[in-house]
Amino acid sequence: MRLYEFLARRNWPRTYTGKILLVSFLGVHVPMFGAVTYALVADPTPLMDQIDVLVAMLIATLVGTAATMVAMAALLAPVRLASEAARTYLDTRETPRLPTRYGDGAGVLMASVQECVTRLDASLTLAEAERDAIELDRSEKFRMLAGMKHDFRTPLTVILGFADLMKTQSIGDYGGAAYRDFATSIGNSGQDLMQTLQSVLDLSDAEAQREYEAERETLDLVPLARKAVGQEHFHADRRAVEVVMEAPRNLPVNTVRNAARDLVGTMLQAAIARTPSGGRVRLLLADEGAPAVTVIAEGAALQLEDLPPRLVQDSTGFRSGTSDAAGSGAATPTTLRLSLIGTFCHAMNARFDASHSDDGMRLHVTLAPEAASVAIAAE
Give backbone dihedrals phi and psi of 315, rounded to 5 degrees, phi first. Answer: -95, 150
What's the half-sphere exposure (Cβ side, CA atoms, 13 Å) at 156?
8
CB 137 within 8 A of CB 165: no
pLDDT at position 377 is 44
CB 354 within 8 A of CB 293: no
pLDDT at position 80 is 86
How far is it between the farthest Cα atoms of the chain? 135
pLDDT at position 254 is 87
Residues of the chain with CATH 3.30.565.10: 217-376
d(CA 303, CA 332) in angstroms, rounded, equals: 10
pLDDT at position 371 is 36
Quick check: helix, strand or coil at residue 243?
Answer: strand
CB 190 within 8 A of CB 159: yes
d(CA 277, CA 241) in angstroms, rounded, equals: 6
DSSP output for 290-306: SEEEEEEEET----GGG
d(CA 295, CA 355) in angstroms, rounded, equals: 11
Angle subtended at Cα 81 by Cα 77 and Cα 85, rounded to the nearest 5 degrees:
175
d(CA 292, CA 278) in angstroms, rounded, equals: 27
- As a whole number of Å, the CA-based R_g of the chain is 34
State the 10-residue block means of pLDDT for the chain, 379 residues long.
69 75 74 71 70 76 78 83 89 87 85 89 85 76 65 70 69 69 73 69 62 76 91 86 93 86 91 90 90 91 67 50 45 74 79 79 77 40
- Buried/exposed code over 313-350 (b: 16+ C-beta within 10 A; e: otherwise): eebeebeeeeeeeebeeeebebbebbbbbbbbbebbbb
**pTM (2 decimals)?**
0.53
Q: Indicate the CATH number for domain 217-376.
A: 3.30.565.10
> What end-to-end distance do the CA atoms of the chain give, in Å?
41
Sequence-distant (≥ 6) Cβ neighbours of residue 242 within 8 angstroms: 236, 279, 280, 281
pLDDT at position 140 is 73
Cα torsion through 126, 129, 130, 133, rounded to 10: -160
Q: In angstroms, what CA-CA distances link 158 with 148, 168, 188, 297? A: 16, 16, 10, 57
d(CA 222, CA 248) in angstroms, rounded, equals: 8
